[in-house]
Amino acid sequence: ETGVTQSPTHLIKTRGQQVTLRCSSQSGHNTVSWYQQALGQGPQFIFQYYREEENGRGNFPPRFSGLQFPNYSSELNVNALELDDSALYLCASSRTSGGAIYEQFFGPGTRLTVL
């Protein structure tokens, strides 16, 4: 257990719908990163949030958006769902301080199925 929690565990949506996934970071961490893991692939970086602002983004379209709250928890929102959005969505929390790199701790993920 890492102390990073995600909800919901599983979710089924249909094409065109919108979805919100939630993540609570580990105590003492101020940075949240989101990753998409398609079946048989490694996780792919979606974006990172630090101090409630987006702090880096991967190769994902604007319909993937996020938020970070003052308590460092975060949401991932996906609009206009497509079949290819079916994947495991992972949240990772870490500490950012003075540019130093700290390891990321992953949550259990949310399994999204788009029909």
Partner 1 sequence: AQSVSQHNHHVILSEAASLELGCNYSYGGTVNLFWYVQYPGQHLQLLLKYFSGDPLVKGIKGFEAEFIKSKFSFNLRKPSVQWSDTAEYFCAVTVTGGGNKLTFGTGTQLKVEL
CA distance 83 to 31: 29
Element (H, E) at 65: strand 64-68
Q: Are 53 and 107 in contact (CB under 8 A)?
A: no
Closest distance between partner 1 and the C-beta of residue 16, in Å?
A: 29
Sign, CA torsion 97/21/5/36? negative
CA distance 41 to 52: 29
Closest distance between partner 1 and the C-beta of residue 17, in Å?
A: 26
Which residue among 107, 110, 112, 114 contacts partner 1 (CB under 8 A)? 107
Site for partner 1 in 17-76 (CB under 8 A): 31, 33, 35, 40-45, 48, 55-56, 58
Nearer to partner 1, 81 or 107 (CB): 107
Nearer to partner 1, 19 or 43 (CB): 43
Closest distance between partner 1 and the C-beta of residue 29, in Å?
A: 11
CA atoms in the 13 A half-sphere facing the CB of 6? 27
For partner 1, the binding residues (CB under 8 A) are 2, 4, 31, 33, 35, 40-45, 48, 55-56, 58, 90, 92, 94, 96, 101-109
